[in-house]
Amino acid sequence: MTVIEQRVCNLVSDVFGLDPESVTLKTSHDTVEKWDSLNIVHLVMAVEAEFNVSISPDDAVDFLSVELICAILAEKGVA
Amino acid sequence: MSLEKIRVGQRETVEMTVTSQLIDAFAALSGDDNALHMDDEAARQYGFPQRVSHGVLSLAFVSTLIGKKMPGAGALWRSLKVNWLRPVFPGDVVLITGEVTQISPSTSSLAMTVNGTNQHGTVVFEAEVNVGIGMELVSASDAPPAQRLVVESPPALCSSSETAPAILVTGGSRGIGRAIALELGKSGHPVAVGFHNAHAEALSVVTEIEAQGGRAAAIRIDLGAPIDVGLLREVEIHLGPLLGLVHAASPPLQNCSFEKLDRQDFEHYFHVYVCGAVELMHALYANMKQHQFGRVVLLGTSAIIGTPPTKMTAYVTGKSAVFGLCKGLAVELGPIGVTVNMISPGLTMTDLTRDYSPRMQLAEAQKTAMRRLATPNDAASLVRFLLSDEASFITGANLPLTGGAVLF
């Protein structure tokens, strides 16, 4: 796991109150009960602050899994 | 016995006399010397009066029935479903009877029920079998005169194991078409691998099919021009009559706003997708009508189901027209035994879609209920089914292959 991926995992762990050890790239809205629209807003804000990027509404629609969030960050040049 | 001489309801029998020596010989041959089969005392501990014959020993005599009597020469036993109902003991005489229940001239095969009845009239096993019937090789003096070969792969010998009809797969050199060609070859269909420019790739597909024991040939098809029917006829010399078409060929996918498209963009897709299929069907029609059999699968796209993506108007228009062709041909050719269907995959990663970024792939996968993208093998499996006897009552259908991303 890269440093960026680990940082995203940490954010997800923090926002959703998950055991950090349990969060992987495959952690997603399918596996986390609290991964709902309200918490996605919190996650977006956390990602914007952590990586100093702007997340558009179109990007937020794809905040569905850790690996998707990492792919969005990669497109924004965060690597 | 050739298929023409066999009738539904026809019966043949063989008799199996079970002895201790026969059971001992089978145990030595198979390695199964389980005490239940070898020793009376051991068998009594399991509630049997004496040692029990191996169930599979009965199947060896079913093999005799198939190989010597029904259908006899050329027989190739393809499948078996069996229930062993009662034990068989040394001293039993089992009459094994096979009755033909179905004859399939298009696939040169028959289905039979087989049962074994012992001397007490008790049915000891019931089975259902499917048996192919191979054709004898044509002798050199009967072969047609040599013709100029434009089919460049070395022709394989006719194999008695292949009784499935020959299928032409356009776009068979790459991507979904390639996966379809390989799957059909593995399933016993002789395959004509159509290509436009990817000659080496097409030959690679042919080689791979032949390495698995199948038969195939590469054939160049330019769907933007009138079809060279002579090439199809030459392929048929090696593969047998082409009784199926899988139209998987596609030009590169355009992602272009409507204002930048012109008439030629639309015409190009129409020529490849629709006119190409029409010409090929005209070329195959006589064979299909003669055999009263045909299988056609046209490649569609999930983009024509529901709301299409933007900037793909020419492509969506062409594929929508293919669905019209599918339905028109289905109702018109059904009476001569031809089914015509369409499969519409969602995003499938091939060289046509290699520009999709990792994010786009992941996001598209999230839209499917199965949380993954389609693979070429998903399409290949569905096409194999649509070409099978089991799909003989499905026609005019457009089957989405989207993992649940698009639902009617």
Q: pLDDT band at residue B137, thresholds of 50, 70 and 90?
A: low
Q: Quick check: B174 and B89 in contact, CB under 8 A?
A: no
Q: pLDDT band at residue B385, thresholds of 50, 70 and 90?
A: very high
Task: Tell me how close the Cα of B373 comes to any Cα of chain A, in angstroms.
Answer: 14
- Rounded distance between C-alpha atoms, residue B249 and residue B235, angstroms: 18
Q: Quick check: B70 and B98 in contact, CB under 8 A?
A: yes
Question: In chain A, which residue's Cα lies nearest the Cα of B365?
Answer: A68
User: Who wins on pLDDT, B59 or B4?
Assistant: B59
Question: In chain A, which residue's Cα lies nearest the Cα of B361?
Answer: A68
Start-end of H helices in B191-304: 199-211, 229-239, 263-270, 276-291
Tell me which residue has tokens 């003991």.
Answer: B89
User: Who wins on pLDDT, A17 or B295?
Assistant: B295
- Rounded distance between C-alpha atoms, residue B213 and residue B40, angstroms: 45
Exposed, middle or buried, B42 (CB in 10 Å: 0-12/13-18/19+)?
A: middle
Q: Quick check: A63 and A39 in contact, CB under 8 A?
A: no
> Using CB atoms, which residue from A68, A74, A75 is nearest to B366?
A68
The answer to whether A79 faces chain B, any CB pair under 8 Å, is no
User: Who wins on pLDDT, B389 or B106?
Assistant: B389
Q: Residues of B with CB below 8 A from A5's CB?
A: none
The answer to whether A74 faces chain B, any CB pair under 8 Å, is yes
Q: Residues of B with CB below 8 A from A67's CB?
A: 362
| DSSP 8-state secondary structure symbol assigned to residue B134 | P
Please tell me the least confidently modeled range out of B70-79, B157-166, B291-300, B355-364.
B157-166
- Rounded distance between C-alpha atoms, residue B235 and residue B61, angstroms: 40
Q: Quick check: B59 and B80 in contact, CB under 8 A?
A: yes
Q: Residues of B with CB below 8 A from A72's CB?
A: 359
Q: Give one DSSP letter per residue of B58-98, joined into a string.
A: HHHHHHHIIIIISS-TTEEEEEEEEEE-S---TT-EEEEEE
Percentage of residues in chain B having pLDDT higher than 90: 76
Question: In chain B, which residue's Cα lies nearest the Cα of A67?
Answer: B362
Q: What is the mean pLDDT of residues B77-104?
A: 94
ipTM comes to: 0.76
Q: Provide the pLDDT for residue B141.
A: 47
pLDDT tens by residue, B106-124: 778 899 999 999 999 999 9
pLDDT tens by residue, B257-304: 899 999 999 999 999 999 999 999 999 999 999 999 999 999 999 999
The answer to whether B371 faces chain A, any CB pair under 8 Å, is yes
Average pLDDT along chain B: 89
Q: Which residues, 6 or more positions from B236, have their beta carbon under 8 angstroms from its beta carbon?
A: B166, B242, B287
Q: Residues of B with CB below 8 A from A64's CB?
A: 363, 366
